[in-house]
Structure 1
């Protein structure tokens, strides 16, 4: 299994275009040793020739131009992207679908909740019908069904499982304040030849017994790295909401509540990687104490262009 990190930042990327916080200003002025990041998305392949996008960020056009593995190879018009799987309907995970409008019909895999949001609250699918069209494959994660196995015809060497996880629906969803099964999923991807498994969850509000069981069985974990602390946004003067209100588990403990660093401790995965990193998060500073603590714990920080092979 091959994994490409197309984008490793949270909404707005890093530095965010209108943000002059300490972290964004530090990168622009060269005061911090840090890397710019586009908004989060990864691509996965079983052979290096055919790829599935997992989420489609607003920065997708730039990301595809910077990844030779995703460039056209055959004929005048071609793409190695054979499908798209969506983890949720958040604007920073879905609007990149519009960047695929010049290509063939999009083979789109998503839950009923996400499908409803993309037909009404953020009607990308009706828009795309005027261009390339979309072939929808519903992942039946809803109601009392909390997981669903599926495969992709173009990537026969991989087996996927969509897993319902706690989180927030987007602001334009009718159940923004009444969470529904399927608003947010994690993905387990297994290479059927080697047995190697990826657990991918860029948005994760908590790590309960179910999530921990799935993480326990993975060789590579790519999980929510949005915030370092629960009150990060208010403390930086960037907003009023805390991490939990936004559907994210911060890395550090808060009021006795374990953070992501605690959740990753003791898990047997060979690779433990944080992704979807907000521009306010001090782990972006490669020389900072927070990054040093992660390194001591064997936790990596994803960056755009990162390549992983399992």
Structure 2
């Protein structure tokens, strides 16, 4: 089994197009140009030929160009992307579907009924795609049962409900329910290990602990270093926790959580442009490395 990080940044990427925070300034000026990142997305495969795209980032075109395994290999048209798995209906995770409209066959999409509802109402991208390649939507169970998409043989995935809200355009924004936001556990039919993937981890829940304990790779939310980071750095109105993201630092932050799983490979993804860990020379990056925690980057290859 293998996983490729297509994009490792939070919404807006790094540097963000309209942001003039210190790190975005550095990146544009060349000081941190080797740390630039596209918006969060991964791909998983068992055979290296049929890939499950996990969230369709707005940067999907560039991510495909940067990933030869996703290029067409035979015939005039084609793609290594065999199916799409959606964690939620957030813009950062679904607008890339529009870029895939030139598919030579209907897009096979795995998501919860709640997400499908959002993508037919508040942000009706599925309706739009019906005028192009079309879609085939497969509902994800939330009872802990594993699904093996027919398009990606050997890849087994279990959907894990996370506590979070649906996006602002969702008809059920004010009434969150399980299925609005997911983490995933990827594994093969053999062995007990796997990857626990949760780029939007806003609140810990006891139901997550068995999955995290079982994983040999933890690929989790790395949005901000502190809870008030967005407010301090760019004048944001909400804290990280209010936006549905655990900060890394603090007694109940991601670093403290990951310290409970020293045997797993621990990696942060979905990194916001305000986060000081983007600078390899920062004290914060040094603290992560000392704790044995990695920082995801675009193109990262993770076998499991």
* Same fold (TM > 0.5): yes
Task: Work out the CA distance in 2 between the residues paired with 1:112 and 1:66.
Answer: 32
Contact residue 121 and residue 171 of structure 2 kept, 8 A = no
Change (3 A) 1:31 1:81: closer
Task: Work out the CA distance in 1 between the residues paired with 2:47 and 2:193.
Answer: 14
Alignment map for 1:1-310 (pairs within 5 Å):
1-32=1-32, 35-103=35-103, 104-141=105-142, 145=143, 147-253=144-250, 258-310=252-304
- Report the 3-state secondary structure (helix = DSSP H, G, I; strand = E; otherwise coil) of the residue aligned with 1:221: strand
C-alpha distance after superposition, 1:97-129 (max 9, x if no partner): 111111121100000111011000000000000
Contact residue 38 and residue 59 of structure 2 kept, 8 A = yes
Task: Work out the CA distance in 2 between the residues paired with 1:67 and 1:177.
Answer: 38
Task: Work out the CA distance in 1 between the residues paired with 2:208 and 2:182.
Answer: 11
* TM-aligned CA deviation for residue 210 of structure 1: 1.7
* TM-aligned CA deviation for residue 195 of structure 1: 4.0
* TM-aligned CA deviation for residue 269 of structure 1: 4.2
TM-score by length of structure 1 reads 0.94
Task: Work out the CA distance in 1 between the residues paired with 2:293 and 2:96.
Answer: 29
- Report the 3-state secondary structure (helix = DSSP H, G, I; strand = E; otherwise coil) of the residue aligned with 1:119: coil
Change (3 A) 1:231 1:258: same
* TM-aligned CA deviation for residue 297 of structure 1: 0.7
Contact residue 44 and residue 155 of structure 2 kept, 8 A = no
Structure 2 stretches of 5 or more lacking a match?
none
Contact residue 193 and residue 214 of structure 2 kept, 8 A = no
Task: Work out the CA distance in 1 between the residues paired with 2:269 and 2:220.
Answer: 6
* TM-aligned CA deviation for residue 156 of structure 1: 2.6
Residues 205-214 or 12-21, more deviating: 205-214
* TM-aligned CA deviation for residue 268 of structure 1: 4.2
Change (3 A) 1:269 1:186: farther
* TM-aligned CA deviation for residue 33 of structure 1: 6.9
C-alpha distance after superposition, 1:143-186 (max 9, x if no partner): xx5x4421111323222100101112111112223211100011
Contact residue 220 and residue 269 of structure 1 kept, 8 A = no
- Report the 3-state secondary structure (helix = DSSP H, G, I; strand = E; otherwise coil) of the residue aligned with 2:234: coil
Q: How many residues align?
A: 303
- What is the CA RMSD across the aligned residues, in angstroms? 1.4
- Report the 3-state secondary structure (helix = DSSP H, G, I; strand = E; otherwise coil) of the residue aligned with 1:308: strand
